[in-house]
Structure 1
Amino acid sequence: MKVLIAGASVAGPSLAFWLARYGAEVTVLEQAAELRKGGQLVDVRGSARGVLARAGLAETVAAACTASDGLSFVDSGGRRLATLSVADFGGDGPVTDTEILRGRLSEIFHEETRDSAEYLFGDRIAGLADGPGGVRVTFEKAAARTYDVVIGADGLHSGVRKLAFGPDAPPLRHLGAYLSFWTAENHLGLRDWTEAYSEPGRTMGMRTIHGNSAVMAFMSFTSAEFRYDYRELESLKAVLRARAAGMGWECDRLIEQIDQAPDFYFDSCSQVRLPRWSVGNVGLVGDAAYCASPLSGHGTTIALVGAYVLAGELAKAGADHQAGLAAYERTLKPWIDEIQEFGAGNGKAMTPETALGVWLRNNVSRLRRFLPRGLFAGEIRMSNRFVLPDYSRYESAQTH
């Protein structure tokens, strides 16, 4: 099976990892000139930990994780109003025990696959023609090639999704909020901790990274959908400054550092909800197929699990690639639907729109550790609900 994967963030290299195990000939295409090593902290939850264990990478990822003991909501003077410990939720709460910089997780899978998959950087797909002989792919720079299967792992703004679905592609589902991340100084001297401050309709905070030598600053704000280009960073920085104006706590000091940050990120909190995840022999995985938004806290989790299931179902289906794509969707979609519904409602907890909402969020969080754990176990159960199928019988003899 000859497979082209567009996108080398997390879903793409992890899909390459599993496909190579099943003996596929894999090419990973990345628009950037090199692997993107920046990015925000991401969580690996529940069933995705099982994927890492089956890949033999659990210890490697654990060693690269950013230590995080918990989260505090603070007032404008920095006084901690409510504290949530990682230990209170078995590692699957608002802050998990497996947090890692997105770029570092990408690097780990790239290191594992660079000898078993071909990586093409600095190019993108210009056209797809799916026919009886396979999918003919034209590139902006490289010569055209033909593949049995093409998979878009190219994120929320997927170019493969647009090519595959054309004008029938549904618009992104805006969840009423925008989110930004950037690296900043750890001027408060936090250690393995997250602090967040909220005012009505906006939240800013910081998580320690790089052995507590820096923080990943973040800001979210509620807003109706507006037009923007996610690649126009200077314009987006101006938006962020305007939205943060007048905020208390440490917000001015964090905002002052966005121009120096090498990894400034801004995008809408939006979901991808498609009538199907594939068209012919062209499929999608991760955010390109079923982005649940950062508000779900499960973006990386469903990318890792999705890549595992997609590779396994393609291997299981043999030469009938479309049957494999359909089985992947059928197997995974009920769990994805649940996570997307959770993500659609979780933004109100992160960024309450009213002063009363901020007060309620802080006080419920303060009392949460003293109440029966079962009252708040829904998210933990959801993270672990998907049972990983066993595809080990399809592994190539060369992988042993």
Structure 2
Amino acid sequence: MPTAVAKKVLLSGASIAGPTVAFWLAKHGFAVTVVERAPALRLGGQNIDINGPARKVIRKMGLEGAILAQNTTEVGLQIIGQDGQVAGEFPKDASLTGTRELEILRGDLVKILYDCSRQDVDYRFGDSITALEQHPDEVVVTFASGKTETFHLVIAADGVRSKTRQLMFGEEPQFKSLGLYIAYMTIPRQSTDNDWWRWYTAVDRRVLMLRPDNKGTIRASVAFLEDDRETHEKRPIDEQKSVLKTKLAGAGWEADRIRQAIDAADDLYLDKAGQIKAPRWSAGRLAMVGDAAYCPTPISGKGTTLAIVGAYVLAGELSRHERHEDAFAAYEKRMRPYVDEVQKLPPGTPKLVYPETKFGVSVLNTVAGIVASKPVQKVVSLFSSNEAEEEQEGIELPDYE
């Protein structure tokens, strides 16, 4: 437990992992500061879901109702064939589906987490960490604003491209690329849109997705396989838009619609998909959590879950141990097997679901149609269900309260 004089903890990043750690540390009696590079909360982003042990953490935080109230309205997943027809359909209550009950926009979840923690946490926007100097009893932190301050612990929670991680570990944590780029943006909703998550596979290893939101717009994403030597993520935004337009050319279905909306999109985000394979998550008084420590890639569908569970465990272990070294060791011992399991992607991922030829796309859609058929769904339902999967642990969550 923290000492009589509350231990000062600095968190870098006000997205999902950061505010979740902040909530629990404040609840355990720590003095918590969160620094965020952006001038305000970054409320953009796509549909995400909260499942498995993360849902139990959310219940402990008293936030399940608030998240359900911000549901994206998505009713399930439709696989769209080459002629625009529905090749397979997986409703939200089906045994196999990509849509969960706790489906929410990333920005809405960020706002909920911020609102539940801000009364007990010092949030500082428009600033960032530029230097860290460890001492036996403290860490001296220098900020971009020029200020210098001391903390007992510093935790990086600023995402897969974490700058704080680089200050802590240099280039030690490894980014394992999957050879895949994913672009996200918000586009206007049309009368032909529905409340399904629509997945369309095009030739030349491209995938287009349209998903509903609760804002009256559509969240579009475009994914494509690319040579690892490419660095589109480092290009200026205008060049990224140009690359994306080129990739959409001749893709079919709603590609022209997305292409035409790119210039007006003010929230376009393009990045290389990959995993963070960090050999260690702490060094002295420094540690990291969430995507900064163990990003599993959007393909896994578990990034938010890992961030929330990891945040809960890290804060809980710090509350249990007087020595931070023991707390960090216990955090990694508990989380590492779970992270390793989540980061295991099916063999051939992602290439198998990004076929190059029209024949390959046809085979993929045919398989999806068979899996989505009522006979197959009925058989699968005998062995699994959404409810059972939601309750499946994958990790033991102690009661730290």
- Per the normalisation by structure 2, the TM-score is 0.91
For residue 322 of structure 1, what is the amino acid of its counterpart? E
Structure-1 residue corresponding to 2:345: 342
For residue 224 of structure 1, what is the amino acid of its counterpart? D
- Aligned equivalents of 1:159, 1:47: Cα separation in 2: 28
Structure-2 residue corresponding to 1:68: 74
Q: Are 2:55 and 2:390, in contact at CA under 8 Å, matched by a contact in 1? A: no
2:196 to 182, 193, 197: 193
Q: Are 2:82 and 2:362, in contact at CA under 8 Å, matched by a contact in 1? A: no
For residue 391 of structure 1, what is the amino acid of its counterpart? D
For residue 254 of structure 2, what is the amino acid of its counterpart? E
- Aligned equivalents of 1:208, 1:105: Cα separation in 2: 16
Per-residue CA shift, 1:85-120, capped at 9, x if unaligned? Answer: 121137xx3222222111110000111111100011
Q: Are 1:230 and 1:266, in contact at CA under 8 Å, matched by a contact in 2? A: no
RMSD: 2.2
Structure-2 residue corresponding to 1:28: 34
Evaluate the alpha carbon distance shift between residue 23 and residue 48 of structure 1 in structure 2; reply closer, same or farther with a 3 A threshold. Answer: same
Matched, 1:44 2:50: yes
- Aligned equivalents of 2:338, 2:265: Cα separation in 1: 36
Q: Are 2:20 and 2:113, in contact at CA under 8 Å, matched by a contact in 1? A: yes
Evaluate the alpha carbon distance shift between residue 180 and residue 24 of structure 1 in structure 2; reply closer, same or farther with a 3 A threshold. Answer: same
When structure 1 is superposed on structure 2, of 191-200 and 240-249 the one drifting more is 191-200
Evaluate the alpha carbon distance shift between residue 391 and residue 207 of structure 1 in structure 2; reply closer, same or farther with a 3 A threshold. Answer: same
Q: Percent identity?
A: 38
Evaluate the alpha carbon distance shift between residue 241 and residue 343 of structure 1 in structure 2; reply closer, same or farther with a 3 A threshold. Answer: farther
Matched, 1:252 2:259: no
Matched, 1:329 2:332: yes
Q: Are 1:316 and 1:391, in contact at CA under 8 Å, matched by a contact in 2? A: no
Provide structure 1 residue ranges, at least 5 long, that are not aligned to the other structure.
394-400
Matched, 1:126 2:130: yes
Structure-2 residue corresponding to 1:397: none
Is the partner of 1:198 in helix, strand or coil? strand
Q: Are 2:81 and 2:365, in contact at CA under 8 Å, matched by a contact in 1? A: no
Shift of 1:344: 7.5
- Aligned equivalents of 1:361, 1:227: Cα separation in 2: 29
1:310 to 311, 314, 331: 314
For residue 295 of structure 2, what is the amino acid of its counterpart? C
- Aligned equivalents of 1:254, 1:229: Cα separation in 2: 19
Per-residue CA shift, 1:141-183, capped at 9, x if unaligned? Answer: 142111111110010111111111114x143110011101111
Question: How many residues are aligned here?
Answer: 388
1:140 to 144, 147, 155: 144
Structure-1 residue corresponding to 2:242: 238
Per-residue CA shift, 1:251-288, capped at 9, x if unaligned? Answer: 11112112212221110111100111111111111100
Structure-2 residue corresponding to 1:174: 177
Matched, 1:373 2:380: yes
Q: Are 2:317 and 2:330, in contact at CA under 8 Å, matched by a contact in 1? A: yes
Shift of 1:295: 0.9
- Aligned equivalents of 2:65, 2:19: Cα separation in 1: 18
For residue 305 of structure 1, what is the amino acid of its counterpart? V
Structure-2 residue corresponding to 1:54: 60
Give matches, 1:381-400, under 5 Å.
384-393=392-401
1:114 to 115, 118, 128: 118
Is the partner of 2:131 in helix, strand or coil? strand
For residue 220 of structure 1, what is the amino acid of its counterpart? A
For residue 258 of structure 2, what is the amino acid of its counterpart? L
Structure-2 residue corresponding to 1:3: 9
Provide structure 2 residue ranges, at least 5 long, that are not aligned to the other structure.
1-6
Structure-2 residue corresponding to 1:278: 282
Tell me which protein shows more helix as a share of its residues.
1
Give matches, 1:76-91, under 5 Å.
76-89=82-95
For residue 259 of structure 1, what is the amino acid of its counterpart? D
1:13 to 19, 30, 36: 19
Per-residue CA shift, 1:281-320, capped at 9, x if unaligned? Answer: 11111100000111111111111111111110111112x1
Q: Are 2:72 and 2:214, in contact at CA under 8 Å, matched by a contact in 1? A: yes
Per-residue CA shift, 1:348-382, capped at 9, x if unaligned? Answer: 46533444442333222222243221799699859
Evaluate the alpha carbon distance shift between residue 228 and residue 344 of structure 1 in structure 2; reply closer, same or farther with a 3 A threshold. Answer: farther
For residue 75 of structure 2, what is the amino acid of its counterpart? D
